[in-house]
Each structure stands twice: as C-alpha cells, then as structure tokens.
C-alpha cells in the first residue's frame, strides 16, 4: 500500500500535531515516500489542521489524514482528541508511530498506552527541548519513559544535549538521526548549479524561513541598515511580517530588502541560487533544511552562534564550513556580510566548504537510519504481544 493510504492496518505511521506547511512536513513526506518505495506500509496523519496557517486541504492532497477538522480548545475537546487518537490506533493497529511536534509526542504516547494494541512510539525532537512550552516539556519527560515509547530521536547532537538532564529511562531511548533533503530537491539543486548554471546577483544575500521570532530577522535588518550596500531577499511568511516590513521601512531598506512570501520549494531554490551569501541568524533551530539546501548549493554560510547551528556547519575534520555571529550584534553581522560580498576569493573559499557539508547530508543515510530503527521497534512490539 502506498504512503498516505489511510485504510491500511499495521505498518508504520508518521504523525504531527498539525499540518501547517514547513520543513517538518517535508521531512515526513520524504521519509514516508522513501520507506514506501522499499515496500513498507506507511500512513501519515495529523491531529488537526493548523487553522492560522491553512485549513489542511493541501496536506490532505499530499496524503495526510486529519483526526479532527479544527484545533481543540478546552479540556473537553482535548479529551475528545485523545479518544479519537485511541480509536484511530485501535482501528489501524500500526506497528510503530513516529511522532513529531511536542503536543503529538505527548498525546500519541498516552493514546498508544490506552489503546493497548502493542503499538510502539518513536518520538522525535526537531528543536531543543528548552524551546518547548514548560508544561508540554514536563509532560514529555514523563511520557517519554512510558513502555509504549520505544525510542526518542533527536535531529542533531545539540538537540540531544538539551535532554541530557532527563531521567536515565528517558535518555537511554535517545539517538540522533540527522535531517537530509528529499532526493528530488537534491537533484533540483544540482540541476540549478550544473545544468542551468544560475548566476548569483552581485551583492545579494538570502534568508529563508518563517517570519517569526525564532528566525531573529530584526538582527538581520539592523545589520543591513549598517552596511549601506547590498540587497536581501527573505523567503517565507508568518505572524511577524507586518512588524518586519515596518522595521525595514523605518530603517530605510525599502529598496534593498524584498519580502517574497511563501513559495513553492523549487521556486525558492531558484531565489537561493541567485544569492551570493546565505544567512540564518535564528534564536534556535533543530537541523534546518534551508541551511542544508544552501550548503548543497555552495553558498557561503553565515549563521547564529548557537550549538545547533555550529553543529550543522561543522565538517568531518571539526572545522567550520561557515561563519558564526552573535545573536545580538548587528554590527558584527554587518561586518561579516560586507566582507563576504566584497571579496570574491573569500566567498569562493567559504562556498567550497559549504558544498562539502551539504553533500554529506545524505537522503539515503537518513532513510536507512529510520528504516533500521523502525524494524527494531517492530520486532520489539511483536515480542511483547
């Protein structure tokens, strides 16, 4: 049965809290499709559509099943969601459910315990645990120790370090599986570089990601105001768009900064290919797909000085394939960006290093790792029934 088929019994399921567009949905689509190509029965579901960022119809077209048609609020609706989850698990009887997003990690683990079908849960963390809400993080520390939870995946060593103070029963379940790009995106990037030879626009920088507090865009805009030259493309949409546009206007950046909004993946890749420098100064990340894309594209990388970002640009010899900047120093960011834009040789040196890091993030390795883990969890579940 193909990925996304909601009528299957058994097999493996991939779940999230909601179906808003983003890197996580892309990762689960990719892993599910890769496993289905290997003959695995794979289903994908979410608890509810995001509401604020879409009604879930686009996700449904991709094969995602929604348990509820709206986000639950209040204790009664939360209870209804939990029992809908229990009913789903009893009806589909999956061998393993791989969950993502803090709410789904907790809710699905509880539902699997109540369903008593022998279903095993693999919870995944795509950002450091201290970026989650306090209450949900505390619940996760409990549900992660339930017998139904067979493994906990962190998408980077830095994310894994964020749960180092959890109890031993929790930590022993943890392992790291790094994110990677879908194969078609790897191919699209290589096509842009080699076959089309898209040329960068002199002085152009690019940032990709949701217009939210996490991405720390005010720092980037303040840095550009100090630079005096250069242009910036920002790909993405989000709740901070109006505030960021206002800030750009107040800083006199109307003619130098373009807010391009949400784009299709390949359209966004073309925008990235037209830049000379990729910049991502996020307050936190997990293992950013946009950063992997830029690395494979061979763009010089400028990222925030946080452990997750440093890990993402670390080469096999331990050296960095990009430059790191403080979270709160627009003057330093402006200096780094100006230096890259002004010096062809420096830019070429950093571009070559970035390309090596991008090539090392292998899709096949990621699919292999998930398949091996889910087979282990399937055997564990069979042994317990």
Of the candidate ranges 1-5, 45-49, 235-239, the one whose mean pLDDT is the lowest: 1-5
CA distance 35 to 42: 7
Indicate whether 96 pLDDT > 80. yes
- Predicted pLDDT at 183: 87
- Predicted pLDDT at 53: 61
Burial class of residue 151, CB neighbours in 10 A (0-12, 13-18, 19+): buried
β-pairing verdict for 149-154 and 231-235: unpaired
- Predicted pLDDT at 54: 62
Burial class of residue 262, CB neighbours in 10 A (0-12, 13-18, 19+): middle
pLDDT per residue as tens digits for the range 225-263? 999 899 999 999 999 999 999 999 999 999 999 999 988
pLDDT per residue as tens digits for the range 321-353? 999 999 999 999 999 999 999 999 999 999 999
Torsion of CA 297, 303, 307, 313, to 10 degrees: 30
- Predicted pLDDT at 23: 80
| SS3 label, residue 164 | coil
Residue by residue, DSSP assigns 327-349 as TT-HHHHHHHHHHHHH-HHHHHH
- Predicted pLDDT at 71: 87
Indicate whether 357 pLDDT > 90. yes
For domain 183-360, the CATH class is: alpha beta
- Predicted pLDDT at 5: 41
Tell me which of 244 and 265 has the higher pLDDT. Answer: 244
Indicate whether 2 pLDDT > 60. no
Confidence of residue 384 (pLDDT cuts 50, 70, 90): low
Torsion of CA 289, 294, 295, 297, to 10 degrees: 130
Q: Do 68 and 45 form a contact (C-beta atoms < 8 A)? A: no
Element (H, E) at 205: strand 204-208
What average pLDDT is seen over the chain?
92
Indicate whether 8 pLDDT > 50. no
CA 194 remoteness from chain centre: 27
Average pLDDT over residues 107-126: 97
Q: Which CATH superfamily is domain 12-180+363-384 in?
A: Glycogen Phosphorylase B; (3.40.50.2000)
Indicate whether 6 pLDDT > 50. no
Q: How far apart are the two ends of the chain, measured CA to CA in Å? A: 24
Contacts of 249 (CB under 8 A, 6+ apart): none
- Residue boundaries of the structural domains of the chain: 12-180+363-384, 183-360
Average pLDDT over residues 4-29: 80
pLDDT per residue as tens digits for the range 271-303? 999 999 999 999 999 889 999 999 999 999 999
Of the candidate ranges 39-43, 210-214, 359-363, 373-377, the one whose mean pLDDT is the lowest: 359-363
Site of tokens 């097999």: 11
Sheet bearing 323-325, strands edge to edge: 257-261, 231-235, 204-208, 277-280, 301-304, 323-325
Closest by alpha carbon to 155, among 380, 353, 369, 374? 369
Closest by alpha carbon to 143, among 97, 75, 80, 77? 97
- Predicted pLDDT at 379: 87
- What predicted TM-score, i.e. pTM, was given to this entire model? 0.82
**Helix pair 183-190, 265-273: axis angle to 10 deg:** 30
Percent of the chain at pLDDT > 70 equals 94
């Amino acid at each position: 049965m193909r990925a996304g088929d909601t009528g299957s019994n058994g097999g493996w399921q991939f779940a999230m809290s909601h179906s808003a567009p983003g890197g996580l949905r892309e990762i689960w689509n990719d892993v599910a499709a890769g496993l289905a190509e290997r003959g695995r029965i794979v289903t994908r579901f979410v608890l509810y559509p995001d509401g604020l960022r879409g009604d879930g119809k686009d996700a449904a077209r991709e094969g995602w099943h929604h348990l509820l048609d709206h986000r639950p609020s209040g204790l009664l609706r939360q209870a209804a969601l939990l029992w809908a989850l229990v009913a789903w698990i009893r009806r589909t009887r999956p061998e393993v459910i791989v969950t993502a997003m803090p709410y789904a990690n907790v809710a699905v683990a509880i539902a699997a315990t109540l369903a008593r079908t022998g279903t095993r849960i693999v919870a995944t963390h795509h950002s450091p645990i201290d970026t989650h809400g306090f209450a949900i993080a505390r619940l996760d520390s409990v549900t992660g120790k339930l017998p139904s939870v067979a493994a906990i995946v962190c998408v980077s060593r830095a994310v894994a370090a964020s749960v180092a103070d959890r109890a031993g029963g929790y930590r022993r379940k943890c392992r790291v599986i790094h994110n990677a790009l879908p194969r078609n995106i790897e191919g699209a990037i290589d096509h842009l570089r080699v076959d089309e030879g898209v040329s960068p626009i002199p002085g152009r920088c690019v940032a990709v990601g949701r217009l939210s507090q996490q991405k720390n865009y005010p720092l980037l805009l303040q840095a550009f105001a100090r630079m005096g030259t250069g242009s910036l493309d920002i790909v993405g949409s989000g709740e901070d768009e109006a505030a960021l546009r206002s800030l750009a206007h107040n800083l006199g950046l109307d003619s130098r900064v373009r807010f391009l909004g949400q784009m299709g993946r390949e359209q966004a890749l073309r925008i990235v290919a037209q830049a000379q420098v990729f910049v991502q100064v996020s307050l936190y990340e997990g293992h950013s797909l946009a950063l992997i894309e830029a690395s494979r594209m061979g763009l010089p990388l400028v990222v925030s000085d946080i452990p997750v970002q440093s890990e993402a640009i670390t080469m096999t010899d331990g050296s960095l394939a990009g430059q790191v900047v403080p979270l709160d120093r627009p003057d330093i960011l402006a200096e780094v960006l100006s230096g890259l834009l002004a010096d062809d040789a420096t830019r070429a040196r950093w571009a070559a290093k970035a390309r090596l890091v991008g090539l090392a993030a292998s899709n096949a390795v990621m699919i292999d790792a998930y398949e091996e883990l889910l087979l282990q969890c399937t055997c564990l579940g069979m042994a317990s029934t």
